[in-house]
Chains A and B, each alone.
Chain A
């Protein structure tokens, strides 16, 4: 019984919260202006230094990926993608980890601040590019996309919630605790993470954000870099790709 009622209650709360607490356009503009002074810029800069010192910078990254430095931004815009060398569809962070292993360097944890910084820097190289994930490029990326979509839609946990409970097309624009629920594609979620999360006063990645979402919704938290998480990143990134949202790293989130 409980399982059925709670989502319904949640939906009702969302519906009746009303417009009175929704932010005005002037307010939104003010928060947008804050992007110019994003504390995460400091982490991104640090990420660039780490990449340079630790792994040999963009040149080494391009070499590892088997592309020219000139092609690198567009190639990065296609992550997560299947990397033959690693035998998997992986995120940028997993590529950086593999480079650390190859060069015999200390391996940063996927959930560490340093890895977040480095990932944010690398993804920022693709700023202004469109996300370019081709889900039909090979069977691996297709499988990853399908798993991501399934993970997005599967109701889990004590309350039987899925990502879709708050992010389906039907409820976009409803206000959940003063925040209008965004269309993840329109909001460019896949293109604006890693971002500075004001609530956490730190730089967070998309997969780390998914974890926060799962925790709050009482779903079992899936580890960063797992097949499901990478799949989720692929799926959510393609939503932004469909809406042609350009990559803009670091983002700034409430």
Chain B
């Protein structure tokens, strides 16, 4: 993945969305919006996960991301949930989302008590400076989350 091209293409997407909409009919605008294969807004993605239930910001979600990404195409993300992992009470899922990517979803991880801990780590692409969100579903059906901003800059040589 070339970061610069990736960012360029993401910028192109937002430009298409932002500027010529006045000149288009509704249908055309909707078409123009769908550039990536799985485009989805942050609100819609959260709605799809929670079914409209409340999501509380929680200290129990420990989200580790860099403050400044060395490279927007490779941003390390670590989510740890301070919650039991027992048969009757466990972390059911961890979702990693971003707020401004064309497709805000990154990974949905379905856990089981066999994991022993509510933990997940990966690396994601970020098109621009935005928030990364760690959203957890507990076995009692409640949702908790934490969000952190990551600065993405075009940096360094090549």
Contact = CB atoms under 8 A, between A and B. Distances in A.
Interface of A: 21-24, 26-27, 30-31, 33-34, 166, 176-179, 198-201, 212-213, 215-216, 254
Contacts of B154: 177-178
B73 A31 contact: no
B76 to A, nearest CB: 6
B155 interface: yes
Given A21-B68, A23-B67, A27-B67, A177 B155 contact: yes
A189 to B, nearest CB: 13
Interface residues of B, number: 21
B139 interface: no
Interface of B: 1-3, 64-68, 70-71, 73-74, 76, 123, 151, 153-158
A30 B76 contact: yes
Contact of A21 (B3, B66, B155): B155
B70 A198 contact: yes
A216 B158 contact: yes
Given A31-B76, A199-B2, A254 B153 contact: no
Contact of B157 (A21, A176, A198): A176
B158 A213 contact: yes
B70 A254 contact: yes
A26 B68 CA distance: 10
| Chain A contact residues: helix, strand, loop or mixed | mixed
B74 A198 contact: yes
Contact of B70 (A27, A212, A215, A216): A27
Among B3, B68, B73, B158, residue most surrounded by chain A Cβ atoms (within 10 Å): B158
A198 B73 contact: yes
B6 to A, nearest CB: 11
Contacts of B156: 176-179, 199, 254
A223 to B, nearest CB: 18
Nearest to B157: A216
Contacts of A212: 157-158
Contacts of B67: 23-24, 26-27
A177 B70 CA distance: 11
A166 to B, nearest CB: 8
B79 to A, nearest CB: 13
25 contacts: A23-B66, A23-B67, A24-B67, A26-B66, A27-B66, A27-B67, A31-B70, A166-B157, A177-B153, A177-B154, A177-B156, A177-B157, A178-B153, A178-B154, A178-B155, A179-B155, A198-B3, A198-B70, A198-B74, A199-B156, A212-B157, A215-B158, A216-B158, A254-B155, A254-B156
A178 B65 CA distance: 17
Given A21-B155, A33-B76, A178-B156, A201 B66 contact: no
B158 A24 contact: no
